[in-house]
Structure 1
Amino acid sequence: MNLRSKILLKAVIDYAVVITSAPIWLVVVAVIAAVVKINEPGESVFFKQKRIGRFGKPFSCYKFRSMHKNWRKILDDYLEQNPAEVEHFAKFHKYEFDPRITKVGGFIRRTSLDELPQLFNVLRLEMSLVGPRPYMFYEKKQIGKNLGKIARVRPGLTGLWQVSGRNEISFDERVKIDCKYVDNLSVLGDIGILFKTIGIVLKG
């Protein structure tokens, strides 16, 4: 089966799984939305951001909001006092400690529940259940020539990088892992990644 056929099969399976499981995940989404709203009544529940989609096209990636409203000032003040975090971000594209995150946000991020709204992206055929995580547009330069391969498939809610110890993996290694995923794409492989992801989420 060629890559195009595999991607089509993935889309059919994704749609079927998301639709049939909707009665479960919609309840979870509603509960989390209520908790986020109660925690900060004056703020929005959802957050969307432009990410790189299939064929390099932009799409709005949905998440539960997990940051404080004045996150920019909080981050600037923190980085001024902790310059080592700048080097950490340059290597891993994330902070070792992120002061922007709310208490509820910290929990839903650790358990990856902040990404549940991306199931709507799957229904819009912008994402897949499994695939490379959607990259930011400012990361295009560092991805380099590998973007062409990675962007052949839809980005995923979870992927090989997430189940390979993502917190200890540098950005460049993440790109290599995503390329490996595309080279070895298979439905059975996706099922294995999904089960590993569930285990990681349950461990919190």
Structure 2
Amino acid sequence: MTDPVPTGKTVNLAFTGASGAQYGLRLLQCLVASECRVHVMISRAAQVVIATETDLKLPGSPPAMEQCLSDFANAKPGQVRVFGREDWFAPPASGSGEKAPLVVCPCSTGTLSALATGASNNLIERAGDVALKERRPLILVTREAPLSEVHLENMLRLTRMGAVVMPASPGFYHDPKTIDDLVDFIVARILDHLDLPQRLMPRWGESRMGKKGQSGD
């Protein structure tokens, strides 16, 4: 008997061609561990970046990619779904589909531009357009430096539309020891914005509140 598909929160997760594939892959692991159903969309450029920055080699077809990512994240059968770049019948492609937040992690400046101007040339862009028009949570984990005036204007435009622009700029106040600690800093912030529990790092002030005599009692 196979394990049932988790009935928890659904999260749409898109990978685009910016550097920082580790952020999205770690987020996938955490979403699966939180019993979420994850609808994954991956651009062609993202496949190249994932192969360049990690040891994960994704196959070309969505079903094979789905199995690969499910194994990577230790997902239950059916918990991770991968949709093709032009699968217009995928749930994220329509406002009448399941209401779910969208996280683009990492988010390239090309995708940023497409979302800011309402382009819908592929499923990721259409999913972002749907999130904006339906007023659903949209988190854009941008990774670029330096930023041009065009990038900044697009970020401002999307912020005014209701998106959360969350640059992959980890802090250091949690005393990171490894690169994984820096990745977890950003993933923890994403999970917070998705209202999902996380134990990747303590929230600001928690360590002080736990000390005797400094809790305000």
TM-score (norm 2): 0.26
Q: Which has the higher helix share?
A: 1
Task: State the TM-score, normalizing by the size of structure 1.
Answer: 0.28
Higher relative contact order (CA 8 A, sep 6+): 1
